[in-house]
Amino acid sequence: MNPSSFSADLIIVPGWIISMEPRGEVTSGQAIVVEDGRIKALLPLEALPESSSIERIDLPDHAVLPGLVNAHGHAAMTLLRGFADDLPLMPWLENHIWPAETAHVGEEFVRDGTSLAMAEMLLSGTTTFSDMYFFPEVVAALCMKNGMRAQLTTPVFEFPTAWGEGADDYISKSLALRDECKNLDRLSIAFGPHSPYTVAESSLEKVALYAAELDMGVHIHLHETAGEVLSAVEATGERPVDTLRRLGLLGPRTQCVHMTSIGKQDIANLAETGAQVIHCPQSNMKLGSGTCPVGKLQMAGINIGLGTDGAASNNDLNMFNEMHTASLLAKLTAGDPTVMPAQDALHMATLGGAKALGLDQEIGSIKPGKQADLIAIDLSAPSTQPLYNPLSQIVYACTGGEITHSWVAGEALLRDRRLLTIDMDDTLARAKYWRQKISSQ
């Protein structure tokens, strides 16, 4: 090949490529060619130019796969990691988390907590995250500065918080942020009504109307515990999923987070409307909230993404831990070791998460034309040897610390375990500042 006729910005030559399309396929002897932030081609090594000025990264002991998608979290709550552990959901929220947020949350808290979260996520392979928290405009600015891709879900409550006065105010700010970010490739804005028990039906109807008109996603905590469902039935005569469907809020752009307490009719509602489910196994387990029946959801054809939830209830933002837990929990719950094989767990953390967020045409798999959101994972350590099946090692043996490189839209954000866009010393210093401030009150 004539090098002068070959154009690209970057060539990555790994030991293995895990493209996720088709699911479970592992290839070797190929290179990933990146140009203008997108995957230009997957080429056999013999098709590459022998000499060129194009940047080439050879990673013979690595697998390259799509960047992981953390489909649900509250990034700034990383500053509350370990603050109120070992409590049930509602006492945890009402007696500890919400009072702490009332006392401390502001733009500075969100900026510092999200910076810490971004560093943790990048170091463990996440390149896209969905964030549901106050001051999303601060997170948007950080994404532009640090290069990560995100879906920002703007909170909606009936009561006042540091970011808004009530449902109409939250919705208005959501629409304004959407207008500000609509031309930014790495950001999408979705409505984030907290839950059916904190948002009135009239407000949910408004969200449904705007979401349909503007083709916006809706990200909502739903069926998180059996107690939540029972309370809803006692108060309204309906299960929360039925309420959302009646209000026109259940559809392909609806992202139902948690879904631990669900039965056959709930699953039928999800399948019939094309709604998405976001599974957060470690947070659900830690809070004793229940188990999402992912095997049954898969059998019904429902797409599932994977999320960590916030570090206040997990206590980490590590998607490798989440994949491992999701697979083992599904097997235990079903009493069947064939449920949730490694390739399905990885799918939830990549293409499944991308689809849940409405981003699967852009990210989630290594395919020509898609954004070059990629991670490289070193499989040469003793803990991943001998290497029979890269998929199994990634899901069952890796911890996230094996990630050495990451790119978003072809831009390097992590190289040889070094963050390129985040000042780690300053980020850790700010975390210590907040620990002292919060623990002293």
In this predicted structure, the answer to whether residue 5 has a pLDDT above a threshold of 90 is no
Average pLDDT over residues 153-166: 95
Residue 426 lies in a domain: no
Task: Tell me whether residue 91 is exposed, middle or buried, using C-beta atoms within 10 angstroms of its C-beta: 0 to 12, 13 to 18, 19 or more.
Answer: exposed
Binned at pLDDT 50, 70 and 90, residue 4 comes out as low
Same structural domain for residues 21 and 143? no
- Domain-embedded: residue 319: yes
Report whether pLDDT(133) > 80. yes
29 in a domain, yes or no? Answer: yes
| Residue 140 located in a structural domain | yes
Other Cβ atoms less than 10 A from the Cβ of 202: the count is 11
**What is the span of the domain harbouring residue 47?**
3-66+370-409
- Look at residue 6 in the predicted model and tell me its pLDDT: 86
Residue partners of 289: CB distance under 8 A and separation at least 6: 89, 224, 225, 258, 260, 283
Q: What is the CATH number of the domain that holds 182?
A: 3.20.20.140
Query: What does the pLDDT read at residue 391?
Result: 97
Please provide the average confidence, as pLDDT, over all residues in the chain: 96
DSSP 22-49: STT-EE-SEEEEEETTEEEEEEEGGGS-
* 401 vs 360: CA distance, rounded Å: 26
3-class secondary-structure state, position 416: coil
* Overall average pLDDT of the 334-358 stretch: 97
Per-residue pLDDT tens digits for 392-418: 999 999 999 999 999 999 999 999 999
**Same domain flag for 266 and 404:** no
- 1 Cβ contact list (under 8 Å, min separation 6): 47, 48, 49, 50
Same domain, 28 and 129: no
Rounded CA gap, 146 and 111, in Å? 12
Mean pLDDT, range 88-106, rounded to an integer: 90
Phi, psi of 303 (to 5 degrees): -75, 140
Q: Where are the alpha helices (DSSP H) in 1-149?
A: 89-92, 98-104, 107-123, 136-146
Query: Could you tell me if 257 and 396 lie in one domain?
Result: no
Confidence of residue 51 (pLDDT cuts 50, 70, 90): confident
209 located within any domain: yes
Distance CA 1, CA 215 (A): 45
The number of distinct structural domains making up the chain is 2
**pLDDT digit string, tens, across residues 197-256:** 999 999 999 999 999 999 999 999 999 999 999 999 999 999 999 999 999 999 999 999
Q: Are residues 108 and 221 in the same domain?
A: yes
Shared domain for 141 and 272, answered yes or no, is yes
pLDDT at position 2: 54
What is the rounded CA–CA span in Å between residue 206 and residue 364?
Answer: 31
30 and 114 fall within a common domain: no
Q: What is the pLDDT of residue 182?
A: 92
pLDDT at 3 over 60: no
Residue 88 lies in a domain: yes
Task: Determine the pLDDT at residue 432.
Answer: 97
Residues 6+ positions from 5 with CB-CB distance below 8 Å: none
Residue 292: name the closest of 246, 253, 337, 340 by CA: 340
Look up the CATH number of the domain holding residue 400.
2.30.40.10
Tokens of 158: 């009936």
49: confidence class by pLDDT, cuts 50, 70, 90: confident
Sheet order of strands, 126-132 included: 68-73, 126-132, 149-156, 187-193, 218-222, 254-258, 276-279, 304-306
Q: Indicate if 306 and 397 belong to the same structural domain.
A: no
- Please check whether residues 310 and 403 belong to one and the same domain: no
Tell me whether residue 258 is in a domain.
yes
d(CA 178, CA 214): 10
336 and 190 fall within a common domain? yes
Q: Is the domain of 253 the same as that of 122?
A: yes
Angle, CA 31 vertex, CA 397 and CA 68 arms, to 5° = 40
Q: What are the tokens at 33?
A: 């060619």
Residue 292 lies in a domain: yes
Report pLDDT digits (tens) over 255-274: 999 999 999 999 999 999 99
Q: 120 and 206, same structural domain?
A: yes
Q: Which of 356, 383, 418 is the last residue of a domain?
A: 356
Q: What is the pLDDT of residue 1?
A: 47
Helix (H) or strand (E) holding 168: helix 167-181
Reply yes or no on whether the pLDDT at 23 is more than 60: yes
